[in-house]
Amino acid sequence: MKTMKTLLAAGVAAASMTMIAAPAVAEVSASAGVASSYLWRGYDLGSGTPAVYGDINYSAAGFTTGVWVSSGDTAAGTEYDLYADYTVDLGGVSVSAGVINYVYATGAGYLGAGNDTDFGDHTDAYLGLGLGPVAFTAYKQIAGGTEEYTYYTLSYDIGKFSFLLGTHESIANGATLANGKIADGESESHLNVTYSYNDNLSFTVSQFVDGQENVDAYAGSGDDDMKFVVSYDMPISM
């Protein structure tokens, strides 16, 4: 599923900006979409219910900022995300850095019972590297939550297919490291395979392949069933 949270960093990290001596061209773009479920980083946050979403963003000279809005998921409620990204090409390698702020206008959010998730409360920073069809992105939670949380993706695009391996790692506050590594049972990985029928319609199969029975930073444990999501995205003329 091409949700903004996957598309934002994995896709933007793989993009490149041509460095030429010309005036920056500013652009405002928007899109809207619907998906059969809210698939995010391998988790089915919508518990199988459809999700409606849209975004609007401003870009110029490698800098992009905007807002992504969703009908939300069953646990956290309706949602909007604010994001900013800067991407530059360095000798054929695309380097991208940015932040994503998650805001849950209604519902419990993800900061624990009794805590509202307002602007600035729940934020990830990320750094991405892309070379041709291959991209690597590392996310770090810098605000919110009860865990020290990181997430890594390695993606590869070929023709109409894209493959993404994502790994979650988390340490509850006060936990210790074993031999400089995350303690056993505190990481998990998933694999997404997406087929883009055209620029609008895509099909994604997602499966956890390691550690799903152990730690879930954002969803209930034990959700190791294969997930199949259909999504339809369309640009909106400005």
Tens-place pLDDT, residues 22-54: 456 899 999 999 999 999 999 888 878 899 999
Mean local confidence (pLDDT), 222-237: 86
Three-state DSSP at 43 gives strand
- Please state which of the ranges 14-18, 32-36, 169-173 shows the lowest mean pLDDT: 14-18
Residue 3 is encoded by which pair of tokens? Answer: 């949700």
- Please state which of the ranges 4-18, 107-121, 143-157, 192-206 shows the lowest mean pLDDT: 4-18
pLDDT on residue 179: 39
CA dist 172 and 25 (Å) reads: 45
Could you give the percent of the chain with pLDDT greater than 90?
Answer: 54
Mean local confidence (pLDDT), 94-112: 83
CA dist 194 and 40 (Å) reads: 13
Q: How far is CA 164 from the centre of its chain?
A: 11
Residue 184 is encoded by which pair of tokens? Answer: 């056993």
More confident residue, 5 or 203: 203
User: Do residues 28 and 56 touch, judged by C-beta distance below 8 A?
Assistant: yes
pLDDT on residue 146: 54
Condensed to tens digits (0 to 9), the pLDDT of residues 189-205 reads: 999 999 999 999 999 99
Mean local confidence (pLDDT), 224-231: 91
Indicate the length of the chain as a whole number.
238
